[in-house]
Chains A and B, each alone.
Chain A
Amino acid sequence: MSKKSGAVLEREPPLREQSALTISRGGAAHQHTLRNIGLIAGYEFRKRVRQRSFIIVTIIMLVLVVLGACAPTAIQYFTATSSSQTKMVVVNNAGPIAGMNDAALSRFIGTALNGTATPATGTNTSGNPPYSIRIAPAGSSSSSLQKQVKDGALSILLVLDRAPNGDMHFTYYTNTSNSSLSEDPHLARVQAFAGQLNVLDKASRLGLTPTQTASLFAQPAFSAVNTGQNSRSVADTVTGYILAYVGILLIFMSIYLYGYGVATGVAEEKGSRIMEILVNAATPFQLMVGKIVGIGAAGLTQMAGFVVVGIGALLLQAPLKALLLGSSAGGLNLDVTGASVTLLLLLLVYFLLGFLLYATLFAAVGALVKRQEAVQNVVQPVIWFFMVGYLVSFIGISSPDAAWVKVISYIPFWTPTTMLMRIGTGAVAWWEIALTIALMLVAIFLCAVISARIYRYGVLMYGQKPGLRQLVKVVRGA
């Protein structure tokens, strides 16, 4: 008889053996399914929430959210307080224009250039109008003023003359770094009100009264009617777009982050071999569901935190503006109307459903890796699969009611982002929302069953990656 060597077989069974390493189903742990899932989920939640990376990311994101909400206000504040005010001097050699003396002329030009919004009175007004206008007396030395423009003490010098035939003549002096005068933004504005002045002047010389002249400039009555279904206010539409954008981004980020977390968590338990003890105490299904629920709860808490802080920061903008600028006018105001609340609710719903669906996929994928470092490789296909929906939701924004967009929004894997985009930017019937939610629930159930089988198969297997045929057999037969 041949002498066998001391039979030191490899610790991992050869590939053929791996098919039977599927963990048994049923068993005594089944009676405690809910309790076990609760325990595992709670443990996972606490573990995740206390992780340093979680805390750091949360803090960074919160800071970003608050900064983002305050950004419009800040920008307004800074532009208003900037000392770069355009100083303009007007030399009026043309005498009264359309019945306006110098003071009235100054007011006219001021209104034309600075707008009708007057900065609020009060001791802490820090907003200076963009243009400061001074009317120099008629006949002032043009050359000395031109020198001031050249030296930079003065931004613009405007000289008004009257030609012998009575028509007005405007001369505009400036010192700009732009390559050609046509790029000077101030020139366009001055030309605009110069044109108005010219018409006013000619009208008065033609004999029209100021009232008649004013009626010349009045806008006609113009009403626009939208015969489409959604009679949404401008505020609602804008809110809808913004919330849809933000929501889609949030969904993408969180599914990426937390789905990844599920996969790495499973791979880690395999790698640290604690899986051996866990499968003794609980069934693989309980382990999988518990993990998903726990991580999902942590993610939901984080998301909810962002949303709450974001809304709070946005609501703070109005009083903040009043404090800094003296008025809460201008800029972006997000009103929390009924429509936007619905949108937010649906955002949470779709996020939850999307996460649950993809989490089952990530769990199955995590159970199949051999080492933790391999997780990022196997996770990529799932992410790409998700990206389809993400891209569609951005491309489809221009045509949310197109047929192909609608079809894609019904496919559960791409529903969250696409539906959110459709709801935010267009009209979606209630039955469509209900239908997509129902479809997602069915998909979640199916994927959970399939993933549970793959989980049972892969979780104790430390060998190479299984072939596709092997997997199909496991899913069907187990």
Chain B
Amino acid sequence: MGLRVEHIDKSFAELHVITDLSMEVREGSLFGFLGPNGAGKTTTMRMILDILRPDSGRITWNGQDVSNVPRHNWGYLPEERGLYPKVEVEEQLLFLARLHGLSKSAARAHLDEWTQRFQVTEYRKKKVEELSKGNQQKIQFLATILHDPLILIMDEPFSGLDPINATILKEAFEEMHRRGKTIIFSTHQLEQVEELCQDVVIINKGQTIVQGSVREVKRQHGRNVARLKLDNDAEARWLEELPGVQVTKRRQDYIEMQIRANLNPNLIVEEALRRGGVISRFELTEPSLTDIFIEHVSEAPHPGVPATLSA
């Protein structure tokens, strides 16, 4: 079954922060939790973790209210990273693992395994403040998973990581996924979502905007994306007059545009040829999540674009 968030509301004084938010996370899935800053992601995560309680609605894991689910099932990587700066890595991690419910010997075994995997064995006896930022992030991640939780909730886990460490983290994600963990994470790097996630939700201003599998979300967007490059006509201003075509990006290597779903993309090629253009590139792609995200979240919809559907 998985995690079910059903119609939760949360207000602080008179300010409605979360309004009738619902989402569903299948057990064992890699779930992307997206939304602009201030949309309510952290608040929702805290409610899932039973750190805060919603004013109404309920959150359940496999049918059980989350306040009854034992703490060792949850792993939390908060947006604001935090560890004891002046305490040794090993001591902290063991403490946190045991606090989450692990026995001393199990905690030690897990620590050995994961410090090796993440190549941080040599830092075990060092104080956290002595490590580089990348290594600190790794330790932070270890603190999240060491007690072998069922559900991982991570707030922007990739922020601040260089490409090498980001790759290590991605591999760890995939390992967790293989082990059947449910992973919910938020990020602003939507390319990663496209790469890793099966399901996504986009929330804004405390409400669900879009939800579903990545493919569904893209398909629902209702538009295709085309890219055109003409060698002899860099501007191609005539594109803007084509009905059903909306130029969205002008780059050196191509011009990107969105076309209405019912428009045959060949029309563009025909028009380009009619005007004597030399086509060096033409492709049809799916809309990127970034575009979908921006469009859903910013209040100015592109003119000529049909109204979006929400889940």
B67 with A18: CB separation less than 8 A: no
Contact with B along A399-443 (1 / 0, CB 8 A): 000000000000000000000000000000000000000000000
Binary flags per residue of B202-243, CB closer than 8 Å to A gives 1, else 0: 001100000000000000000000000000000000000000
B298 to chain A: which residues have CB within 8 Å?
Answer: 3-4, 6
Q: Does A214 contact B (CB under 8 A)?
A: no
State whether the Cβ of A226 lies closer than 8 Å to any Cβ in chain B.
Answer: no
- Contacts known (A39-B98, A276-B76); A7 close to B37, Cβ less than 8 A: yes
Q: In the bound complex, do residue B299 and residue A28 qualify as a contact, i.e. CB atoms below 8 Å apart? A: no
The 10 tightest CB contacts between A and B, nearest first, are: A273-B82, A9-B38, A17-B12, A276-B78, A16-B13, A274-B82, A273-B80, A20-B12, A4-B299, A281-B99
Quick one: closest A residue to B83, CB to CB?
Answer: A274
Near B by CB (< 8 A), chain A positions 339-361 give: none
A40 at the interface (CB under 8 A from B): yes
Q: How many residues of A contact B (CB 8 A)?
A: 47
Contact B53 A19 (CB under 8 A): no
Residues of A near any B CB (own CB < 8 A): 1-4, 6-11, 13-14, 16-21, 23-24, 26-29, 31-32, 36, 39-40, 43, 46-47, 51, 268-269, 272-282, 460
The contact sample of 18 A-B pairs, CB cut-off 8 A, is: A6-B297, A8-B36, A10-B38, A13-B12, A16-B15, A17-B12, A18-B12, A19-B12, A21-B12, A29-B71, A39-B98, A39-B99, A272-B83, A273-B82, A278-B99, A279-B51, A282-B99, A460-B51
Tell whether, in the assembled complex, residue B67 and residue A26 are in contact, meaning their CB atoms are under 8 Å apart: yes
Cβ contacts under 8 Å, B101 to chain A = 32
**A18–B13 alpha-carbon span in the complex (Å):** 8
The reply to whether A277 and B95 form a contact with Cβ atoms under 8 Å apart is: no
B50 touches A24 (CB 8 A): yes
Q: In angstroms, how far is the closest chain B Cβ from the Cβ of A294?
A: 12
- Mark interface residues in B43-85 (1 if CB within 8 Å of A CB, else 0): 0000001111100000000000001111100101010111111
Give 1 or 0 for each of B1-39: 1 = CB within 8 Å of chain A CB. 000000000111111010000000000000000001111
Residues of B contacting A24 in the complex (Cβ-Cβ under 8 angstroms): 50-53, 67
Contact A280 B12 (CB under 8 A): no
Bound Cα distance A274, B143 (Å):
11
Cβ of B100 within 8 Å of any chain A Cβ, yes or no, is yes
Closest residue on chain B to residue A42 by CB atoms: B95
How distant is the Cα of A28 from the Cα of B71 in the complex, in angstroms? 6
Please name all residues of chain B whose beta carbon is closer than 8 Å to the beta carbon of A274 when the two chains form the complex. Answer: 82-84
Knowing A9-B38, A17-B17, A39-B99 are in contact, say whether A280-B85 is a contact too (CB < 8 A).
Answer: no
Task: Let me know if B96 is at the binding interface, CB within 8 A.
Answer: yes
